[in-house]
Structure 1
Amino acid sequence: MTRPRDERGSAAIEAAVGVPAFVLFVGLIVFGGRTATTHQAVETASADAARAASLERTSAAARASATSAAATSLANQDIQCLDVDVTVDTTQFARAVGETARVSVTVRCRLDLADLSVPGVPGSRLIAATTASPIDTWRERG
């Protein structure tokens, strides 16, 4: 007669293998969600900044307005960036009235991912978006 196998301790072994894999899986889901949410917010901030810059009459005012609009947009969406860089291309403000022109804004956000501590996930990630907005063709600009 054969004795049935003793299965004591098998649940502990299964947990030792399964729990870390599950935690890693959840960490990757959080990483993907946070990255996607931040990317969408940065695209929105870039569009808001480009629109705000295109409404100004001078390139200096456009830069200031774009920077302010991008910061406000990210704050309104509750996005916490390690640093935010707003680059405004206002070279087409020099075009004569009657010529088509546009202003382009790039917003870069360094997303903090250090709290995830998932193997293979960097401590931060740079997320960037660029948007262009037309400047009124018949509006005076300087």
Structure 2
Amino acid sequence: MNRTTRWGDRGSYTLESLLCLMVLLPILGLMAAWGLAGVFDSSVDNAAAAAARAASQAPDADTASQRGRAAAEAALTQDKRNCTARHISIDTSGFSRPVGEPASVTATVTCTIPLDQLAVPGLPGTKTLTASSTSALDQYADRTE
């Protein structure tokens, strides 16, 4: 009996499956990490929008800055985003414009996340996500700088 006929392709399916799995798992992990990075990016966008909205409703620049920072922190905390470094900047220069002139407040949120927080453990490095949002001030409300 011929040896190739006797054994045939026995066991090759297992080997092929194992090889495919070794190639596909890292690719699937990277795709999951990419998707989660998008989710984190969306959370940073939402935090910037919440900060700008809260700041634009304040009566003065100091209160606007405090409310904006608090809103951004609350949004990031609510979404359970663990930033290793975060920076929240509120531009309240619009409060110095005279009543009757259009003005706005801009919030910028920066969040640095370690890549190993994403789907692939041991992925080296960090990713810094930044988002800005602008919200108009009431054109005819009293403003104090």
TM-score (norm 1): 0.85
Q: Which residue is 1:83 aligned to?
A: 85
What letter matches 2:37 in structure 1? T
Which residues of 2 match residues 97-108 of structure 1 at below 5 A?
97-108=99-110
For 1:66 and 1:122, the matched residues in 2 are separated by 32
Could you say what secondary structure the match of 2:80 adopts? coil
Which residues of 2 match residues 24-103 of structure 1 at below 5 A?
24-103=26-105
For 2:52 and 2:124, the matched residues in 1 are separated by 30
Return the offset for 1:57: 2.1
Q: Which runs of 5+ in 2 are unaligned?
A: none
Return the offset for 1:9: 4.9
Higher mean Cα deviation, 30-39 or 121-130?
Answer: 121-130
Share of identical aligned residues, percent? 31
Return the offset for 1:42: 1.1
Kindly report the root-mean-square deviation, in angstroms, between the aligned alpha carbons of the 2 structures: 2.1
C-alpha distance after superposition, 1:26-49 (max 9, x if no partner): 211221221111111111111110
Could you say what secondary structure the match of 2:116 adopts? coil
What letter matches 2:140 in structure 1? W
Stretches of 4+ moved more than 4 A in 1?
Answer: none
For 1:5 and 1:46, the matched residues in 2 are separated by 68
TM-score (norm 2): 0.84
Q: Which runs of 5+ in 1 are unaligned?
A: none
